[in-house]
Amino acid sequence: MAAVNRDNEEEVKTDDGSPKIKPRPIVRLGIFLIAHSPVFSVVFSAAGVLALLLLPLLAKNTYISENALMPGSARSMLSNRDVSDGSKLVKDIKNFRLNHEGQGVEVQKLIGKYMSDMGAEFSYQKFHPEGNQFHPLHFFSGPDSYTLLENVSCASYGVNVAGIIRAPRGDGKESIVLVTPYDFINGGDYEDLSLGIVSSLFSLLSRVTWLSKDIIWLVADSRYGDYRPVAAWLTEYHSPSFKVSDLLKCDEQNTADNFRRAGTMAAALVLKVDGRSEKFEDTLSIFAEASNGQMPNLDLINVVNYLAVHRQGFYVKVEKVVSLLSSSWLKIFGEIFEAVGKLAHMLNPDWNFGIPAADYLEGSATLASSLYSQALGIPTGPHGAFRDYQVDAITLKVSPRFPPDSKTRQHDFFLRGARLLEGTIRSVNNLLEKFHQSFFLYMLTSPSKFISVGVYMIAFALLVAPLPMVAASLYIDGCKSLTNSTHNPTENFKSWKWLDAAKQVFTLHLLGFIVTLLPYFICQVPGQHSPTNRSIMWGTTSSSLLLITFVTMPGCSPFSSRLHGTNWAILKSVTISAAFIGLCLMSIINFATAEIGALLLVPTCLMAQPIKPALRSRRLKSLLGAFCSIVLLTIGFPVMFFAISKGLLGEGLVGLSLGGEFWTWLESLWAWKSATYLYIGMVHLPCWLLCLCILFHPS
C-alpha cells in the first residue's frame, strides 16, 4: 500500500493540479512522424515511385471469375451457309457502290432488307451531327446532352440501321448488342469486311434455339465519327424524345415511329476491321477505356482473349507506348529487377516475382498506355457510349493478314471472326445477372495480365502520405516563428494564424475556377480563330486576371506577403493541405489522373521554398534545393508537361504550334467531359501558382 501511494504522489500533474493523461500510441506515432517529416517525406516519396516501377512485376494472370460464362465449352454452330450469307452482303454492297456512288440511303435499305430476310425486326434512326463547343452548364449533364450544329441540311443527318432478333427462350428483358461502325457514303473495303463478319453471325443467331437474350445488331453511320452515332442511338433507346424535331422534315424513311427496342443490355461488342496486320497472323486489338477512366468488367475481356487465342488463333494485343520499348533507363530497371528476381529464387524457390527484362519493358509500355488512356478520360472507341449507361462494352479491332480484295482468304477470316463473336455471345447468354464477379478497377499490362486496385493504390498512397505530415510540421514551425517574433503574447491567436494563408489559397483556387470557364467565353468571340490564336487569347486573359488579383488583393501577391504578416511556412502548409484534398478527391473520380497528378504535384509542393534566403546564404545545400524547386515548377507547368509528354510519345512540338496543340488537347477534354480538365484548372494550376508564390516569397 505504501508503494502504491508513493507512485500516486509521483504521478505527473499539469499546471492546474490535474493528472496528465498519457497520449495513446497512435497519437505518439503521429507526433513522431510529424517531428521527423523531412525524412519520412523522402522515404515515402521514393517508395511511391519504386512501387509504381514495380507494378509490371506485380501483375497477375487473368482468369474467369464467373463460372457461368464457360467460354469455349460449346461447339461452334456456324456453318459455311452463314458465311456465304455474309459474303453475299459484302459483294452486293460493293457492287452497289460501284454503280450508285454516294447514295448512302440505298445502302441502308439494302442492309435493312438483309436483316428482314433473316427474320429480324429492323428500324432506322436519324441523328444530328454534334458540335464541339464548350459549355459549362453541360459539363456535368447526362450523356443525352449534346451541342448540335446549326443550319444542317437533310443530307447531313446520319442514319443508323438496327436489327433485333428476339430470343426464343427469353422474355424480352435482356439483350446483347453488336455494333459495326460503317460510313454509308464513303465506306471502304475493310468496313465491308466487318459487316460480313457480323452478318454471318446474325444469320446463325436468327436460327438457333439456345438464345435467352435478344440480339441487337446496330450498323452505326460513322460519317461523323464512330462514337456519335452509337451515343445518339443509345440516347433514343434509353431516353426517347417526344418533342417535335427538325428531323421530321427529312424523315423519308419514317424513322420516328418505328424505332425498335429490346431488353436491358447485358453487354456490347463493337467490331471494326481496320487495316492490314503487320504480323504474319490476324491481329485482334482490344480497347476497353471509357470516359473518366471507367473500365468494363474484366471477365468480358478475359472471355474474348481466351476465345481469340485458344480457339481462333488470333494474335491479341492492347495498346502500348511504343517509345518506351526502346527506353534505356527502363531497360536498366528491368535488368535490375530480373537479377533481383533470380537471386531471390536462388535463396528460396518459392519466391517467383522476377520477370525477364523484355517482358518488363512490354508490361511497362502497356501499363503506361493504360494509365495515360484512363487519365485522359476520353473513350478509346464507340464502346465508351455504352459505359455511360453502365453497360459493359469493348471495341475489337481486327487487322487481317491479307488484303481486303482477297477472295480466297475472306471465307476463313469471316468464319474465325464470327466464331469468336459467337463464343462471346454464348458466354454472355449464360449469365443470369449482370457482370459483377470480376474487377471493374484495374490496369492491363498485357491482354492476359492485370493489376488490381488493391495493388496500384499502394503507389498513390505512398506518394500522398507525406503531405499531411509535412503540412502539420510546417504549421507548427510557422506558429513558433510567429510566437517568437511577437512581443505581446496576448496578440498571438494560434488558432487563427492560418486564415491569411487560407484566404490566399482560396483566392487562387477561385481564380483557377474562372480560368477553367474562360474557354466558353473565348469560343463566343465572333470570327474564325485558329487553335493557336485561341490559346494566346486564353493565356493573355488568364495572366491579366492574375495581375488584377495581385493588384486588388495585395495579400495574394508574393511580393507583399510580409507586409500582411503571412508566414511562408503556414502558406506552404495550407497549400499542401489543399493539394492533398484535391488529389484524394480526384482519386475517387479518376485514379489514373490522381496518380499522374501526384507524381507532378507532390514533389513540387514538398520542395517549394523561398529562393531569396538561398541566394543570400550561397550554401550548396540551399542553392541545390532552390534549383530543384525551379526545375519541378517548370516541369509542373501544364503546357510544359504537355510538351514533355508529347516528346515521350515521339511527337515533337516547337514554337507557337505547342499552344495550338495544347488548346486542341484541352478541347478534346472538355468535349468528352473529362474530369481531368477540371483537375488541371481547379487543383493543379492553383497549387502550381501557390508554389510559385512560395518560391518568390520575400522572406
Q: Is the pLDDT score of 204 beyond 60?
A: yes
pLDDT at residue number 133: 58
- pLDDT score recorded for residue 569: 84
Pairing of strands 315-317, 158-165: unpaired
Residue 164: strand pairing partners: 121, 216
For range 105-133, the mean pLDDT:
84
Q: Look at 71-75, 437-441, 491-495, 623-627 and tell me which has the smallest mean pLDDT.
A: 491-495
- Average pLDDT score over residue span 19-41: 80
670: nearest Cα among 140, 168, 263, 302: 140
Q: Could you read off the pLDDT of 304-346 as tens digits, one per residue?
A: 999 999 999 899 999 998 888 888 889 999 999 989 988 888 8
Higher pLDDT, 494 or 403: 403
Cα–Cα distance for residue pair 565/569, rounded to 1 Å: 12
Q: How far apart, in whole angstroms, are the C-alpha atoms of residue 224 and residue 97?
A: 20
Q: Which residues pair with 396 in a beta bridge?
A: 271, 286
Cell 451515343 belongs to which residue?
Answer: 231
Q: Which range, 231-245, 348-362, 451-465, 605-619, has the best average confidence (pLDDT)? A: 451-465
* CATH of the domain spanning 63-131+157-239+257-319+380-447: 3.40.630.10
d(CA 398, CA 401): 10
The model's confidence at residue 564, banded by pLDDT at 50, 70 and 90, is: very low
What pLDDT score was predicted for residue 101?
A: 61
Q: Please, how many CA atoms are within 13 Å of residue 241, restricted to the half-sphere of its CB?
A: 18
List, in sequence order, every residue forming a beta bridge with 176; answer none if it has no partner: 215, 267
pLDDT tens-digit series, residues 253-264: 555 558 888 989
Share of the chain above pLDDT 90, in %: 38
**Over 80: is that where the pLDDT of 282 sits?**
yes
pLDDT of residue 370: 92
For residue 293, give Cα distances in angstroms to 235, 289, 516, 558.
21, 6, 21, 37
Taking the alpha carbons at both ends of the chain, their separation in whole angstroms is 60
Q: Half-sphere exposure (CA, 13 Å, Cβ side) for 200?
A: 31
Q: Indicate the DSSP class of residue 148.
A: B
Any residues with CB less than 8 A from the CB of 592 and at least 6 apart, and which? 293, 370, 371, 372, 373, 374, 375, 443
Cα–Cα distance, 239 to 512 (Å, whole number): 35
639-671 residue pLDDT tens: 888 888 777 666 655 555 677 788 888 888 888
Residue 648 · residue 372 · CB < 8 Å = no
Range with the lowest mean pLDDT among 167-176, 356-365, 493-502?
493-502
CB atoms inside a 10 Å sphere around CB 80: 12
Segment 219-229 mean pLDDT: 89
Cβ-proximal residues to 198 (8 Å cutoff; 6+ apart), any chain: 86, 178, 180, 217, 271, 418, 421
Q: What is the pLDDT of residue 308?
A: 94
Cell of 124: 432506322
Between 646 and 208, name the one with better pLDDT. Answer: 208
Confidence at residue 268, expressed as pLDDT on a 0 to 100 scale: 95
Q: Which residue has the cell 449507361?
A: 389
Cα–Cα distance between 373 and 364 in angstroms, integer? 14
C-alpha 110, offset from chain centre: 38
The residue with cell 509535412 is: 470
Report how far residue 693's alpha carbon sits from residue 511's, in angstroms, rounded to the nearest whole number.
Answer: 14
| Residue range 503-560, pLDDT digits in tens | 888 989 999 999 988 888 888 788 777 888 888 888 889 889 888 888 887 666 666 5
- Residue 347: is its pLDDT beyond 90? no
The string of DSSP letters for 74-103 reads S-----HHHHHHHHHHHHHHHHHHHHSTT-
What pLDDT sits at residue 139?
62
| Residue extent(s) of CATH 3.40.630.10 domains in the chain | 63-131+157-239+257-319+380-447
Q: Residues 605-613: what's their mean pLDDT?
A: 87
